[in-house]
Structure 1
């Protein structure tokens, strides 16, 4: 009896050990290194970005401007529009004096939903976006609602049909052409069974019907490898006057170029030196909110990642942000990473690079003919929004 019991214990141990190894094999995967091919540097005397000064915007008692605040520069009015979701309004500021010069207040009875994003068109109409229910409101210049549509129609079970969830922000704005609103966004998570050709990063919605189509998927580097399903899944976008757009993805050295016709190509978007972006060291799986968030954050902090892409039309320069690996001691995870600004000409020849001061936010910025204004996070005066100007010589 003693030998039978001893043998049973051995069998149970082997079974449990086998299950654990099977689970380890399921989770573990080889880290993939995605490295760039450095391009020659073509320097010029007008490719150096330097700090040129500061601009302060005087806020009223109810307005707070943070790194997450969405803003839009309006060239014809030379004004900065700031979304105030809490008090359901858009505040306007003269970009030279910093003084407030107007408000558009949304009526609660007309717009009962929280507003998470906005776009003011060249015709002075206003588009407001609600994230949770995917409502898009169209307002006239006085703030009266003229149209409402719901986008991304849901299937049975509440699952979205592979469409990206819009992420309107300063680094991923809406773009309107006729009645078609273009946006970029992403869905959270990773799964080994997801159809790669149905995971989109760009969508278009018809503002008359609400019908939405998605047309651009992730590049191949995202096909097999696990990027954590969050930070490395976010697309960043800018638009040119001719309708061309550029999409920057955190794990991809190349930049997506999308022409107005929809033609897609890839252009050089990496630095002049060789760098590698590493995937996570375990297989794809569904990553739910709250699960492995610490590993996902640490992976993001410890690796290179690309972020915003910006276009300065008057200088004919394209700027891409490269975030650098965290060099802090183990366990110290800052909220932000140090960043470089990579500078390209319209042919995407690499021109120069410069370190972005750590006090400047890459999430809240706007571009004028003067240069790029970044929100300065050192500001302690709640009655002012402090922006720092970076401009070419």
Structure 2
């Protein structure tokens, strides 16, 4: 058996980044109002782990999902080599069944299982979304016209553990982005989330990038990637953007936004790239060093079992750390927020630990251990809250 580990986030950093033409702008500094002021009442500790025995050619990527169905708990992996979703029983750690979609959609790039009656498969290249159940296809949605609309800079869905679809009644929420920077401040609004109306197939853009992204060079890719989560009880959609200390909370009953500062104790300010926006090409080494020397934010995760939130922070690296660890994974931490979005703790993780592949279960925050040498098993460490 062979485990294929797929890291799309590392692939993103290897492109030459394109930006649009505009007059040079001063470097923007996004200061953290909570820098050094956050309380540390709790922390996350990993005290146990478990393994899932993967099938031949199963793919470990950011696109996994935890699902509770009746009395069973599943961890779902994509196996694109077999054009299937694989449902692993969390209790036994073994493969329970496969859902095949080989004749229904080509070039699948992501999935979302709301329940056994609502399974979504997304084809990024074709911009097609397939809705099906275990018996087969129900309907196909073409998102290309909405994504390619020239009147707005709409988002192209990115499906992963940190950028999932969310089905709410007959509406499907999704998030994503397009690479590059807007040409001018008067360019069409640029969105990173949208709603798909399943009954009509129409798309309504939802969240657009905040003001800090306008007129400054952020490199085009990493700092553009949105991270989202959903709280069904409060009907709120929460966004975490890499260049912002704030969380953006969208009330889906009114589509109104509220910004709440949720910055790290160890990231004072985030500055835009010290390059004029008029640069149409920037060397990837410059981009990578800018990324690793900058603080930034990633995943926002809602833990429904404990009614709290986790926000992933990427700490800035100095030259010594870059020389020691190279331009690989940055050291990260997890900010813990209560249900009022008040910070109650921040846990620094060790170098090499990552929150790219994860899910939340009744046991805690389960994160894939990438340092596991057994390629036939996916080993997950369970992180639990502990009072300080």
Fold match (TM-score > 0.5): yes
Residue 16 of structure 2 is matched in structure 1 by none
Per the alignment, do residues 61 and 123 of structure 1 end up closer, same or farther by CA in structure 2, a change over 3 Å counting?
closer
Residue 313 of structure 1 is matched in structure 2 by 304
Structure 1 residue 190 corresponds to structure 2 residue 186: no
Structure 1 residue 94 corresponds to structure 2 residue 94: no
Per the alignment, do residues 266 and 155 of structure 1 end up closer, same or farther by CA in structure 2, a change over 3 Å counting?
closer
Match of 2:132 among 134, 139, 142: 139
Structure 1 residue 353 corresponds to structure 2 residue 346: yes
Aligned-partner SS, 1:75: strand
Q: Distance in 1 between matches of 2:92 and 2:267?
A: 44
For these two proteins, the number of residue pairs brought into alignment is 359
How big is each residue's C-alpha offset from its partner over 1:3-49, in whole Å with a ceiling of 9 and x where there is no partner?
xxxxxxxxxxxxxxxxxxxxxxx8864322211111754454xx221
Mapping of residues 264-279 of structure 1, within 5 Å: 264-272=257-265, 275-279=268-272
Q: Distance in 2 between matches of 1:213 and 1:315?
A: 32
Structure 1 residue 281 corresponds to structure 2 residue 281: no
How big is each residue's C-alpha offset from its partner over 1:232-264, in whole Å with a ceiling of 9 and x where there is no partner?
001000111232111000010010001122111
Per the alignment, do residues 321 and 155 of structure 1 end up closer, same or farther by CA in structure 2, a change over 3 Å counting?
closer
Q: Distance in 2 between matches of 1:172 and 1:363?
A: 11
Per the alignment, do residues 319 and 131 of structure 1 end up closer, same or farther by CA in structure 2, a change over 3 Å counting?
same
Normalised TM-score (structure 1): 0.85
Structure 1 residue 63 corresponds to structure 2 residue 54: no
1:166, distance to aligned residue in structure 2 (A): 0.9
1:155, distance to aligned residue in structure 2 (A): 8.9
Contact 1:272 1:350 in 2 (8 A): no
Contact 1:237 1:246 in 2 (8 A): yes
Unmatched runs of 5 consecutive residues or more in structure 1:
1-25
Residue 29 of structure 2 is matched in structure 1 by 33
Per the alignment, do residues 155 and 362 of structure 1 end up closer, same or farther by CA in structure 2, a change over 3 Å counting?
closer
Larger mean Cα displacement after TM superposition, 351-360 or 382-391 = 351-360
Larger mean Cα displacement after TM superposition, 211-220 or 35-44 = 35-44
Larger mean Cα displacement after TM superposition, 298-307 or 207-216 = 207-216
Residue 23 of structure 1 is matched in structure 2 by none
1:316, distance to aligned residue in structure 2 (A): 2.1
How big is each residue's C-alpha offset from its partner over 1:140-187, in whole Å with a ceiling of 9 and x where there is no partner?
123x1111110140699x868410111111111111112221111111
1:273, distance to aligned residue in structure 2 (A): 5.2
RMSD of equivalent CA atoms: 2.4
Q: Distance in 2 between matches of 1:273 and 1:146?
A: 49
Residue 78 of structure 1 is matched in structure 2 by 73
1:326, distance to aligned residue in structure 2 (A): 1.8
Aligned-partner SS, 2:276: coil
Residue 118 of structure 2 is matched in structure 1 by 125
Normalised TM-score (structure 2): 0.86
Q: Distance in 2 between matches of 1:132 and 1:362?
A: 26
